Amino acid sequence: MKKASVFEYNDTVKSLKTYLKPCMAMITLGLSIKALGTFLELLLPEILSRIIDVIVPSGDRDRIILWAGIMIIFSLLAWLFNVLANRNASRVAQRITQSIRHDLFDQTLYLSCQKTDEFTIPSLESRLTSDTYNVHRMVGMMQRMGIRAPIITIGGLIMTFVMEPVLALVFLAVIPFMLVLVWLRATKGVPMFRKVQQANDRMTAVVRENSQGIRVIKALSRTENEKTRFAGVNSKLREQELRANRVMAIINPMMNLFLYVGMIGVIIVGAYRVNAGLSETGKILAFMSYFQMISRSLMAVSRMFIMYSRGMASSARIMEVLNCDTEKSWEIKEYPEGDPDYALEFRDVTFSYLKVRDNVKHISFKLKKGESLGIIGATGAGKSTLISLLLRFYDVDEGAIYLNGKDVRSYTPSELRRVFGVVMQNDFLFAETVEENIRFGREVEDPELEEAIESAQAEEFISQLEEGVGHMLTTKGTNLSGGQRQRVLLSRAFAALPEYLLLDDSSSALDYKTDAKLRRALAEKYPDTTMILIAQRVSSVKNCDQIIVLEHGEVSGIGTHDELLKNNAVYAQIADSQMGGALFD
């Protein structure tokens, strides 16, 4: 177990270096400026000691003014260099974090559905937001304090040994105790803060669910129940943060305790040495200045390790996503070919999401170009799973799926999905205009756009909007009715004139009259388009060339509408229960 965690840490550091490398010139420049400013700062107590013990007693006014001027110049230069270095550190941290965030977002877009399920959407959101913020703070802090703290600590100790070896030994006696505290903070912090981020993922999931389902929660009067559920995950997050911060909080007072013990020892010994004539006042004052500088530096190291612990915990979570396989890295292989006479073929397809029980079993059918397939069945029967397999959101466990005789696994994801026009069961509309939601970043000519809107039976309601296709939609299209949203989504699917149309319960919110017009438009305007229509209504699929009835992931019947009425009891029962709807056709 220990080896695994060490490997993960080393892997995280290695991955971070790839983002640091392009900024190494800026980092080197910033660290050089910071080092120069820190060295100037280290000289100030020595100059002060010289002024008090040597220059002032000489009574030479010009020398006093000269050395005072030198001290002021060094102070201003140290301040200027520190400001420049800190600004440079901020720019580097921003640039690196922007690059990580960009790559992480890009990676999430190309994650397979299986990987997305493993990470979960709330966790990916948390990694893109709070985790990248923690990395930003870590990178900035390490540049600001990573070079300054060691120079101040080591340089300060050297200066104190040169000035007053006895007092330096008194102070040095507490250093090992402080280093042990810093080490404890480093080793305990990373795993504890990783647990904090995982608890934050769970809280984000609850917030996301509530924000998306707020109308349902209010409609069913479940507000108090959701408050209680949120209080539970919020409490667990607080417990994890409290546990981590409690360990960290113990270290700070202990650091202060050792610092003050060392300071008291220095004051006592220093007083005896001045009284005995073994030291001078200026040296004691300079020593106390160095002592305070070293003390602040060690406290900064302590804070730096807190930031480092959080940053490395977050970095590991980010790199876990960045280093996993995506659709980009899929190896395209050649598979045995199917029958090229068919535009679409499922051949004995079996698939399971969790690899425990099969969600669809031994599914087989063939469609020629321009033919249509209707799929009907109860909720959970596996209808949408067939669409996911066809689009290669998941790969089949057994069997094969062919487009024009070529296995879908022989296509790149972009090549495969470019030929489809799709309306998913829970499709999404963006906070953009109606036109942009239909174009969806594709080069769709105006005549094609208008024809798609007309075919989807959306022209009537869009023309009544004040801005027409320029009407701005809210996220998920909540300022449209359910039927209007579906017609915009259908327009999106039609707009690119796809070779295949996949419509998953895409007309469930339409009235029977509009649904009938839509089916007539599909038949008249897209005669060469191969279609799969998933529906709950028999009226939506009755005119398809083939209809599949799914039960518990298996085909219980396949044929035309008339054939299934005669030969399939399930289909006949569904049709009989919906005969009232057929009157509107």
> What single-letter DSSP state applies at residue 23?
G
pLDDT tens-digit readout, 173-225: 877 877 777 676 666 666 777 778 778 778 877 877 777 677 667 776 778 88
Pull the structure tokens for residue 254: 């202990």
How far apart are the C-alpha atoms of 383 and 369, rounded to whole Å?
Answer: 21
The residues near 195 (Cβ < 8 Å, ≥ 6 apart) are 240, 244
How far apart are the C-alpha atoms of 474 and 53, rounded to whole Å?
Answer: 74
Residue type at 258 in one-letter notation: F
How far apart are the C-alpha atoms of 519 and 172, rounded to whole Å?
Answer: 86
The residues near 128 (Cβ < 8 Å, ≥ 6 apart) are 101, 104, 105, 108
Query: Is the four-CA dihedral 391, 520, 515, 482 of positive or negative sign?
Result: positive
Question: 377 pairs with which residues across the strands?
Answer: 550
Is pLDDT of 581 > 50?
A: no
3-state secondary structure of 554: strand
The whole-number average pLDDT for the span 513-538 is: 88
How far apart are the C-alpha atoms of 387 and 364, rounded to whole Å?
Answer: 14
How far apart are the C-alpha atoms of 431 and 56, rounded to whole Å?
Answer: 73
> What single-letter DSSP state applies at residue 433?
B
- H/E element holding 573? helix 569-577
How far is the CA of 458 from the CAs of 66, 434, 489, 512, 567, in angstroms? Answer: 85, 11, 10, 15, 37
HSE-CB for 7 with a 13 A CA cutoff: 5
Query: Is the four-CA dihedral 513, 516, 522, 525 of positive or negative sign?
Result: negative
pLDDT tens-digit readout, 331-387: 778 888 889 999 999 999 999 988 888 889 999 999 999 999 999 988 888 888 999
Domains 2-324 and 427-498 fall in the same CATH topology = no
Give, rounded to a whole angstrom, the gap between the first and last alpha carbons of the chain.
66
Is pLDDT of 512 > 90?
A: no
Mean predicted lDDT score pLDDT of the chain: 84
Beta strands (DSSP E) in 514-572 are: 530-534, 546-551, 554-559
HSE-CB for 167 with a 13 A CA cutoff: 31
Pull the structure tokens for residue 564: 């299934």
Pull the structure tokens for residue 403: 């487009």
Q: Note the pLDDT of residue 4.
A: 36
How far apart are the C-alpha atoms of 524 and 517, rounded to whole Å?
Answer: 11
Polymer length in residues for the chain? 585
HSE-CB for 290 with a 13 A CA cutoff: 33
Question: 398 pairs with which residues across the strands?
Answer: 350
3-state secondary structure of 360: strand
**Which CATH number does 427-498 carry?**
3.40.50.300
Q: Note the pLDDT of residue 531.
A: 93
| Phi-psi sector, 181: left (phi>0), alpha (psi -120 to 50), beta | alpha
pLDDT tens-digit readout, 490-501: 999 898 888 999
Q: What percent of the chain has pLDDT over 90?
A: 25
Residue pointed to by tokens 């209080």: 231
* 8 Å CB contact between 430 and 423: no
How far is the CA of 170 from the CAs of 173, 292, 299, in angstroms? Answer: 6, 14, 19
How far apart are the C-alpha atoms of 302 and 500, rounded to whole Å?
Answer: 61
Residue type at 323 in one-letter notation: N
- At the topology level, CATH places domain 333-419+500-518+528-580 in Rossmann fold (3.40.50)
How far apart are the C-alpha atoms of 562 and 374, rounded to whole Å?
Answer: 13
3-state secondary structure of 14: helix
- Rg of the chain over Cα atoms, rounded to whole angstroms, equals 35
Beta strands (DSSP E) in 69-130 are: none
Q: Note the pLDDT of residue 9.
A: 66
Threshold 0.85, pTM exceeds: no
Pull the structure tokens for residue 565: 């009425």
Extents of the domains making up the chain = 2-324, 333-419+500-518+528-580, 427-498
* 8 Å CB contact between 400 and 335: yes
pLDDT tier at 579 (50, 70, 90 boundaries)? low
Give φ, ψ of 408 to 5 degrees. -60, -25
Question: 347 pairs with which residues across the strands?
Answer: 400
Q: What is the DSSP string of 453-509?
A: HHHTT-HHHHHHSTTGGGPBPPGGGTTS-HHHHHHHHHHHHHHT--SEEEEESTTTT
Distance of CA 450 to the CA centre of its chain: 37
Q: Note the pLDDT of residue 185.
A: 65
Q: Note the pLDDT of residue 1.
A: 34
How far apart are the C-alpha atoms of 541 and 522, rounded to whole Å?
Answer: 12
Q: Note the pLDDT of residue 501.
A: 92
Cβ count within 10 A of residue 165? 11
Cβ count within 10 A of residue 161? 15
pLDDT tens-digit readout, 105-119: 999 988 888 888 888
- At the topology level, CATH places domain 2-324 in ABC transporter transmembrane region fold (1.20.1560)
pLDDT tens-digit readout, 111-159: 888 888 888 888 888 899 888 999 999 999 888 888 888 888 888 888 8
pLDDT tens-digit readout, 213-245: 776 677 767 788 888 888 888 888 888 888 877
pLDDT tens-digit readout, 415-447: 888 899 898 877 788 888 999 989 888 888 888
